[in-house]
Structure 1
Amino acid sequence: MKLNRFERMVVKHPVRHWLQRTVEQPLLLKLFDNNIPAIDKALEIGCGFGQGIQLLRSGFGAASVVAVDLDEEMLAFSAARYPDSPWLTLMQADATRLPFDDQQFDLVCDFAVFHHVPDWQTAVDEVFRVLKPGGAFVIEELYRAAICNPISKRLFEHPQTNRFNHSEMHQCLKLAGFSIRKAHHLPGLAGLTLAIKPANSVID
Protein backbone atom coordinates (compact mmCIF):
# COMPACT_ATOMS: atom_id res chain seq x y z
CA MET A 1 0.00 0.00 0.00
CA LYS A 2 1.42 3.41 -1.02
CA LEU A 3 1.57 6.48 1.19
CA ASN A 4 -1.12 9.11 0.76
CA ARG A 5 -0.26 12.77 0.14
CA PHE A 6 -0.27 13.77 3.79
CA GLU A 7 1.96 10.92 4.89
CA ARG A 8 4.41 11.72 2.09
CA MET A 9 4.67 15.23 3.51
CA VAL A 10 5.27 13.87 7.01
CA VAL A 11 7.90 11.35 5.90
CA LYS A 12 9.72 13.93 3.77
CA HIS A 13 9.68 16.72 6.36
CA PRO A 14 13.09 17.79 7.82
CA VAL A 15 11.77 17.33 11.37
CA ARG A 16 11.01 13.68 10.59
CA HIS A 17 14.55 13.22 9.24
CA TRP A 18 15.97 14.88 12.35
CA LEU A 19 14.04 12.50 14.59
CA GLN A 20 15.24 9.51 12.58
CA ARG A 21 18.84 10.66 12.77
CA THR A 22 19.02 11.78 16.41
CA VAL A 23 16.49 9.54 18.19
CA GLU A 24 15.60 6.46 16.17
CA GLN A 25 19.00 5.67 14.65
CA PRO A 26 20.83 5.40 18.02
CA LEU A 27 18.06 3.18 19.39
CA LEU A 28 18.23 0.89 16.36
CA LEU A 29 22.01 0.60 16.56
CA LYS A 30 21.81 -0.20 20.28
CA LEU A 31 19.76 -3.28 19.47
CA PHE A 32 23.13 -4.85 18.63
CA ASP A 33 24.64 -3.80 21.99
CA ASN A 34 27.24 -1.74 20.11
CA ASN A 35 28.55 -4.91 18.45
CA ILE A 36 27.29 -4.67 14.88
CA PRO A 37 28.54 -7.58 12.76
CA ALA A 38 30.18 -7.06 9.38
CA ILE A 39 27.44 -6.50 6.81
CA ASP A 40 28.33 -7.20 3.21
CA LYS A 41 24.82 -6.86 1.75
CA ALA A 42 21.78 -5.18 3.32
CA LEU A 43 18.18 -4.87 2.16
CA GLU A 44 15.72 -2.12 3.06
CA ILE A 45 12.07 -2.90 2.38
CA GLY A 46 10.30 0.37 1.58
CA CYS A 47 13.03 2.94 0.95
CA GLY A 48 10.73 5.97 1.14
CA PHE A 49 12.72 9.17 0.68
CA GLY A 50 16.05 7.52 1.34
CA GLN A 51 16.75 8.15 5.02
CA GLY A 52 17.01 4.45 5.80
CA ILE A 53 19.57 3.99 3.04
CA GLN A 54 21.86 6.44 4.83
CA LEU A 55 21.40 4.55 8.11
CA LEU A 56 22.26 1.23 6.47
CA ARG A 57 25.36 2.66 4.82
CA SER A 58 26.80 4.96 7.49
CA GLY A 59 25.22 3.58 10.68
CA PHE A 60 25.29 -0.17 10.09
CA GLY A 61 28.29 0.04 7.77
CA ALA A 62 26.79 -2.05 4.96
CA ALA A 63 29.20 -2.53 2.06
CA SER A 64 26.27 -2.65 -0.37
CA VAL A 65 22.61 -1.73 -0.02
CA VAL A 66 19.56 -2.90 -1.97
CA ALA A 67 16.46 -0.78 -1.37
CA VAL A 68 13.02 -1.67 -2.70
CA ASP A 69 9.71 0.17 -2.78
CA LEU A 70 6.34 -0.17 -4.50
CA ASP A 71 6.23 3.56 -5.23
CA GLU A 72 8.13 4.77 -8.31
CA GLU A 73 8.21 8.32 -6.92
CA MET A 74 10.05 7.15 -3.81
CA LEU A 75 12.55 5.23 -5.92
CA ALA A 76 13.15 8.24 -8.16
CA PHE A 77 13.67 10.52 -5.16
CA SER A 78 16.15 8.10 -3.59
CA ALA A 79 18.00 7.74 -6.88
CA ALA A 80 18.36 11.53 -7.09
CA ARG A 81 19.48 11.70 -3.46
CA TYR A 82 22.27 9.15 -3.98
CA PRO A 83 23.70 9.80 -7.47
CA ASP A 84 26.87 7.99 -8.50
CA SER A 85 26.55 5.44 -5.68
CA PRO A 86 27.76 2.09 -7.05
CA TRP A 87 27.09 0.49 -3.65
CA LEU A 88 23.31 1.15 -3.98
CA THR A 89 20.73 -0.79 -5.99
CA LEU A 90 17.13 0.50 -6.17
CA MET A 91 14.29 -1.75 -7.33
CA GLN A 92 10.51 -1.70 -7.50
CA ALA A 93 9.23 -4.69 -5.55
CA ASP A 94 6.43 -6.01 -3.35
CA ALA A 95 7.41 -7.01 0.21
CA THR A 96 5.37 -10.20 -0.15
CA ARG A 97 7.17 -11.25 -3.35
CA LEU A 98 10.79 -10.22 -3.02
CA PRO A 99 12.65 -10.75 -6.32
CA PHE A 100 15.74 -12.33 -4.75
CA ASP A 101 17.15 -15.81 -4.38
CA ASP A 102 17.27 -17.48 -0.98
CA GLN A 103 19.91 -16.45 1.55
CA GLN A 104 21.16 -13.28 -0.13
CA PHE A 105 21.39 -10.70 2.68
CA ASP A 106 23.22 -10.25 5.98
CA LEU A 107 20.73 -7.65 7.17
CA VAL A 108 17.13 -6.79 6.28
CA CYS A 109 15.39 -3.69 7.68
CA ASP A 110 11.75 -2.69 8.02
CA PHE A 111 11.63 0.97 9.05
CA ALA A 112 7.88 1.35 9.68
CA VAL A 113 6.74 -0.26 6.43
CA PHE A 114 5.00 -3.52 7.35
CA HIS A 115 2.01 -1.72 8.88
CA HIS A 116 1.30 -0.66 5.27
CA VAL A 117 1.42 -4.27 4.01
CA PRO A 118 -1.96 -6.06 4.06
CA ASP A 119 -0.39 -9.54 4.18
CA TRP A 120 2.51 -8.67 6.48
CA GLN A 121 2.90 -12.27 7.64
CA THR A 122 3.94 -13.30 4.13
CA ALA A 123 6.40 -10.40 4.09
CA VAL A 124 7.97 -11.76 7.31
CA ASP A 125 8.33 -15.19 5.65
CA GLU A 126 9.98 -13.54 2.65
CA VAL A 127 12.49 -11.77 4.89
CA PHE A 128 13.38 -15.08 6.51
CA ARG A 129 13.85 -16.64 3.08
CA VAL A 130 16.22 -14.00 1.69
CA LEU A 131 18.33 -13.66 4.87
CA LYS A 132 21.51 -15.68 5.20
CA PRO A 133 21.68 -18.04 8.19
CA GLY A 134 22.81 -15.91 11.11
CA GLY A 135 21.47 -12.79 9.41
CA ALA A 136 19.60 -10.03 11.22
CA PHE A 137 16.12 -8.55 10.72
CA VAL A 138 15.78 -5.06 12.23
CA ILE A 139 12.18 -3.91 12.71
CA GLU A 140 10.82 -0.50 13.64
CA GLU A 141 7.03 -0.64 13.50
CA LEU A 142 3.77 1.09 14.34
CA TYR A 143 1.15 -1.13 15.94
CA ARG A 144 -2.61 -1.52 15.72
CA ALA A 145 -3.52 1.14 18.29
CA ALA A 146 -1.39 3.73 16.50
CA ILE A 147 -3.05 3.30 13.10
CA CYS A 148 -6.55 1.93 13.83
CA ASN A 149 -7.97 4.98 15.56
CA PRO A 150 -10.17 7.84 14.33
CA ILE A 151 -7.38 10.42 14.05
CA SER A 152 -4.98 8.17 12.17
CA LYS A 153 -7.74 6.92 9.86
CA ARG A 154 -8.64 10.49 8.98
CA LEU A 155 -5.08 11.57 8.19
CA PHE A 156 -3.47 8.45 6.73
CA GLU A 157 -4.32 5.46 4.58
CA HIS A 158 -3.37 2.23 6.34
CA PRO A 159 -4.90 -1.23 6.15
CA GLN A 160 -7.37 -1.56 9.02
CA THR A 161 -7.64 -5.35 9.16
CA ASN A 162 -5.03 -7.96 10.01
CA ARG A 163 -2.97 -5.42 11.96
CA PHE A 164 -0.64 -6.39 14.78
CA ASN A 165 0.79 -5.45 18.16
CA HIS A 166 4.21 -6.13 19.67
CA SER A 167 3.33 -9.62 20.88
CA GLU A 168 1.66 -10.64 17.62
CA MET A 169 4.63 -9.44 15.59
CA HIS A 170 6.94 -11.54 17.75
CA GLN A 171 4.68 -14.58 17.47
CA CYS A 172 4.81 -14.29 13.68
CA LEU A 173 8.60 -13.90 13.72
CA LYS A 174 8.98 -17.05 15.82
CA LEU A 175 6.62 -19.02 13.57
CA ALA A 176 8.71 -18.00 10.58
CA GLY A 177 11.79 -19.37 12.33
CA PHE A 178 13.36 -16.25 13.83
CA SER A 179 14.89 -15.91 17.27
CA ILE A 180 14.14 -12.63 19.07
CA ARG A 181 17.45 -11.16 20.21
CA LYS A 182 16.32 -7.82 21.67
CA ALA A 183 13.22 -5.62 21.66
CA HIS A 184 11.70 -2.46 23.11
CA HIS A 185 8.21 -1.01 22.75
CA LEU A 186 5.83 1.75 23.71
CA PRO A 187 2.83 -0.29 24.87
CA GLY A 188 0.31 -0.62 22.08
CA LEU A 189 1.85 2.02 19.83
CA ALA A 190 5.26 1.14 18.39
CA GLY A 191 8.27 -1.08 18.88
CA LEU A 192 11.82 -1.98 17.89
CA THR A 193 12.91 -5.57 17.42
CA LEU A 194 16.11 -7.37 16.47
CA ALA A 195 15.33 -10.86 15.16
CA ILE A 196 18.01 -13.33 14.07
CA LYS A 197 17.72 -16.15 11.56
CA PRO A 198 19.38 -19.12 13.27
CA ALA A 199 22.76 -20.08 11.84
CA ASN A 200 21.61 -23.67 11.21
CA SER A 201 18.50 -22.66 9.20
CA VAL A 202 17.93 -24.60 6.00
CA ILE A 203 15.47 -23.55 3.26
CA ASP A 204 13.39 -26.51 2.07
Structure 2
Amino acid sequence: MTEKTAGVQAQEVRPQTRIQRQKSAAILEAGLTVFSEAGFRGATLDRIAMEAGLSKPNLLYYFPSKEAIYEALLRELLDTWLDPLRAIDPCGEPVDEILDYVRRKLEMARDFPRESRLFANEILQGAPLIGPVLAGELRDMVDETARLIDGWIAERRLAPIDARHTIFSIWAQTQHYADFDVQVQAVLGGQDFDGAAAHLDTLFRRLLQR
Protein backbone atom coordinates (compact mmCIF):
# COMPACT_ATOMS: atom_id res chain seq x y z
CA MET A 1 0.00 0.00 0.00
CA THR A 2 1.43 3.42 -0.92
CA GLU A 3 1.51 6.37 1.47
CA LYS A 4 -1.01 8.15 -0.73
CA THR A 5 -3.45 5.22 -0.61
CA ALA A 6 -3.06 4.88 3.13
CA GLY A 7 -3.71 8.58 3.54
CA VAL A 8 -6.90 8.41 1.47
CA GLN A 9 -8.21 5.42 3.47
CA ALA A 10 -7.42 7.18 6.75
CA GLN A 11 -9.33 10.22 5.53
CA GLU A 12 -12.32 8.07 4.54
CA VAL A 13 -12.68 6.47 7.97
CA ARG A 14 -11.96 9.66 9.95
CA PRO A 15 -15.02 10.45 12.12
CA GLN A 16 -16.95 13.61 11.43
CA THR A 17 -16.64 16.60 13.70
CA ARG A 18 -19.64 17.87 15.65
CA ILE A 19 -20.27 20.61 13.08
CA GLN A 20 -19.99 18.13 10.22
CA ARG A 21 -22.49 15.82 11.93
CA GLN A 22 -24.86 18.73 12.44
CA LYS A 23 -24.66 19.76 8.79
CA SER A 24 -25.11 16.18 7.57
CA ALA A 25 -28.17 15.85 9.82
CA ALA A 26 -29.55 19.18 8.54
CA ILE A 27 -29.15 18.02 4.93
CA LEU A 28 -30.91 14.72 5.64
CA GLU A 29 -33.71 16.53 7.48
CA ALA A 30 -34.13 18.92 4.56
CA GLY A 31 -33.98 16.05 2.08
CA LEU A 32 -36.70 14.23 3.98
CA THR A 33 -38.98 17.25 3.77
CA VAL A 34 -38.34 17.86 0.07
CA PHE A 35 -38.48 14.21 -1.06
CA SER A 36 -41.66 13.52 0.93
CA GLU A 37 -43.35 16.53 -0.68
CA ALA A 38 -41.99 16.41 -4.24
CA GLY A 39 -40.88 12.81 -4.67
CA PHE A 40 -37.46 11.88 -5.97
CA ARG A 41 -37.97 13.24 -9.48
CA GLY A 42 -39.44 16.53 -8.31
CA ALA A 43 -36.76 17.20 -5.70
CA THR A 44 -33.72 19.30 -6.58
CA LEU A 45 -30.39 19.87 -4.85
CA ASP A 46 -31.07 23.62 -4.92
CA ARG A 47 -34.30 23.18 -2.98
CA ILE A 48 -32.71 20.77 -0.49
CA ALA A 49 -29.82 23.17 0.07
CA MET A 50 -32.22 26.07 0.61
CA GLU A 51 -34.28 23.99 3.06
CA ALA A 52 -31.09 23.07 4.95
CA GLY A 53 -29.87 26.67 5.03
CA LEU A 54 -26.71 25.80 3.11
CA SER A 55 -25.19 26.71 -0.21
CA LYS A 56 -25.31 24.06 -2.92
CA PRO A 57 -21.48 23.68 -2.96
CA ASN A 58 -21.54 23.22 0.82
CA LEU A 59 -24.21 20.52 0.49
CA LEU A 60 -22.17 18.74 -2.19
CA TYR A 61 -19.22 18.59 0.20
CA TYR A 62 -21.28 16.22 2.38
CA PHE A 63 -23.33 14.39 -0.25
CA PRO A 64 -22.12 14.14 -3.86
CA SER A 65 -25.59 13.91 -5.40
CA LYS A 66 -29.33 13.94 -4.87
CA GLU A 67 -29.24 10.14 -5.14
CA ALA A 68 -26.78 9.91 -2.24
CA ILE A 69 -29.11 11.88 0.06
CA TYR A 70 -32.10 9.80 -1.00
CA GLU A 71 -30.27 6.51 -0.46
CA ALA A 72 -29.05 7.60 3.00
CA LEU A 73 -32.61 8.50 4.00
CA LEU A 74 -34.01 5.19 2.75
CA ARG A 75 -31.36 3.19 4.62
CA GLU A 76 -32.27 4.91 7.87
CA LEU A 77 -35.98 4.61 7.15
CA LEU A 78 -35.94 0.89 6.42
CA ASP A 79 -34.25 0.10 9.71
CA THR A 80 -36.81 2.18 11.60
CA TRP A 81 -39.67 0.70 9.57
CA LEU A 82 -38.71 -2.87 10.46
CA ASP A 83 -38.32 -2.26 14.20
CA PRO A 84 -42.02 -2.76 15.09
CA LEU A 85 -42.03 -6.11 13.28
CA ARG A 86 -38.89 -7.18 15.12
CA ALA A 87 -40.53 -6.25 18.42
CA ILE A 88 -43.26 -8.92 18.20
CA ASP A 89 -42.51 -11.32 21.06
CA PRO A 90 -42.99 -15.03 20.25
CA CYS A 91 -43.44 -15.69 23.97
CA GLY A 92 -46.14 -13.08 24.42
CA GLU A 93 -49.92 -13.31 24.28
CA PRO A 94 -50.74 -13.55 20.54
CA VAL A 95 -53.64 -11.10 20.39
CA ASP A 96 -51.81 -8.57 22.53
CA GLU A 97 -48.61 -8.88 20.49
CA ILE A 98 -50.38 -8.24 17.19
CA LEU A 99 -52.45 -5.39 18.61
CA ASP A 100 -49.26 -3.87 20.00
CA TYR A 101 -47.81 -4.10 16.49
CA VAL A 102 -50.86 -2.28 15.12
CA ARG A 103 -50.43 0.41 17.77
CA ARG A 104 -46.72 0.84 17.02
CA LYS A 105 -47.38 1.14 13.28
CA LEU A 106 -50.08 3.78 13.89
CA GLU A 107 -47.71 5.69 16.18
CA MET A 108 -45.14 5.67 13.38
CA ALA A 109 -47.74 7.12 11.00
CA ARG A 110 -48.40 9.84 13.57
CA ASP A 111 -44.77 10.57 14.48
CA PHE A 112 -43.05 9.99 11.11
CA PRO A 113 -45.48 11.07 8.37
CA ARG A 114 -42.75 12.36 6.05
CA GLU A 115 -40.86 9.08 6.30
CA SER A 116 -44.04 7.18 5.49
CA ARG A 117 -44.67 9.31 2.40
CA LEU A 118 -41.04 8.93 1.32
CA PHE A 119 -41.41 5.15 1.54
CA ALA A 120 -44.73 5.26 -0.33
CA ASN A 121 -43.22 7.38 -3.11
CA GLU A 122 -40.36 4.91 -3.51
CA ILE A 123 -42.83 2.03 -3.78
CA LEU A 124 -44.97 3.90 -6.32
CA GLN A 125 -41.88 4.42 -8.47
CA GLY A 126 -41.31 0.65 -8.53
CA ALA A 127 -38.87 0.57 -5.59
CA PRO A 128 -35.75 1.10 -7.74
CA LEU A 129 -33.49 1.50 -4.72
CA ILE A 130 -35.07 -0.70 -2.06
CA GLY A 131 -36.45 -3.47 -4.25
CA PRO A 132 -33.72 -5.93 -3.15
CA VAL A 133 -34.47 -5.18 0.52
CA LEU A 134 -38.20 -5.73 -0.02
CA ALA A 135 -37.54 -9.09 -1.68
CA GLY A 136 -34.84 -9.94 0.85
CA GLU A 137 -34.85 -8.74 4.44
CA LEU A 138 -38.48 -7.57 4.50
CA ARG A 139 -39.77 -10.75 2.89
CA ASP A 140 -37.73 -12.87 5.31
CA MET A 141 -39.15 -10.99 8.30
CA VAL A 142 -42.72 -11.27 7.01
CA ASP A 143 -42.20 -15.00 6.42
CA GLU A 144 -40.87 -15.41 9.95
CA THR A 145 -43.78 -13.45 11.44
CA ALA A 146 -46.28 -15.41 9.33
CA ARG A 147 -44.82 -18.69 10.62
CA LEU A 148 -45.20 -17.39 14.17
CA ILE A 149 -48.83 -16.40 13.56
CA ASP A 150 -49.57 -19.75 11.88
CA GLY A 151 -48.11 -21.48 14.92
CA TRP A 152 -50.38 -19.51 17.23
CA ILE A 153 -53.34 -20.46 15.05
CA ALA A 154 -52.36 -24.13 15.19
CA GLU A 155 -52.25 -23.83 19.00
CA ARG A 156 -55.78 -22.37 18.86
CA ARG A 157 -54.56 -19.11 20.38
CA LEU A 158 -55.74 -17.04 17.40
CA ALA A 159 -58.69 -17.22 15.04
CA PRO A 160 -57.85 -18.80 11.67
CA ILE A 161 -56.59 -15.94 9.50
CA ASP A 162 -54.24 -15.51 6.55
CA ALA A 163 -51.10 -14.27 8.29
CA ARG A 164 -49.51 -12.41 5.38
CA HIS A 165 -52.69 -10.66 4.30
CA THR A 166 -53.30 -9.67 7.92
CA ILE A 167 -49.87 -8.02 7.98
CA PHE A 168 -50.69 -6.24 4.70
CA SER A 169 -53.98 -5.06 6.21
CA ILE A 170 -52.15 -3.65 9.23
CA TRP A 171 -49.80 -1.73 6.96
CA ALA A 172 -52.67 -0.38 4.87
CA GLN A 173 -54.87 0.58 7.82
CA THR A 174 -52.11 2.38 9.75
CA GLN A 175 -49.98 4.02 7.05
CA HIS A 176 -53.13 5.45 5.45
CA TYR A 177 -53.19 8.11 8.19
CA ALA A 178 -49.79 9.41 7.06
CA ASP A 179 -49.85 8.77 3.32
CA PHE A 180 -53.38 10.16 2.89
CA ASP A 181 -53.14 12.79 5.61
CA VAL A 182 -54.70 15.49 3.43
CA GLN A 183 -57.70 13.29 2.68
CA VAL A 184 -58.14 12.28 6.33
CA GLN A 185 -57.97 15.89 7.52
CA ALA A 186 -60.37 17.05 4.81
CA VAL A 187 -62.97 14.48 5.86
CA LEU A 188 -62.49 14.71 9.63
CA GLY A 189 -61.51 18.36 9.91
CA GLY A 190 -58.19 17.28 11.42
CA GLN A 191 -56.32 14.14 12.42
CA ASP A 192 -57.78 11.84 15.10
CA PHE A 193 -55.14 9.30 16.06
CA ASP A 194 -56.88 8.46 19.35
CA GLY A 195 -60.04 7.60 17.46
CA ALA A 196 -58.03 5.66 14.88
CA ALA A 197 -56.27 3.69 17.61
CA ALA A 198 -59.56 2.75 19.27
CA HIS A 199 -61.12 1.78 15.93
CA LEU A 200 -58.17 -0.36 14.82
CA ASP A 201 -57.97 -2.07 18.20
CA THR A 202 -61.63 -3.08 17.90
CA LEU A 203 -61.27 -4.06 14.25
CA PHE A 204 -58.23 -6.31 14.66
CA ARG A 205 -59.29 -7.68 18.05
CA ARG A 206 -62.49 -9.01 16.46
CA LEU A 207 -60.46 -10.48 13.60
CA LEU A 208 -57.93 -12.18 15.88
CA GLN A 209 -59.91 -13.52 18.80
CA ARG A 210 -61.40 -16.98 18.59
User: TM-score, with normalisation over the residues of structure 1?
Assistant: 0.27
Greater relative contact order (CA < 8 Å, ≥ 6 in sequence): 2
Tell me which protein shows more strand as a share of its residues: 1
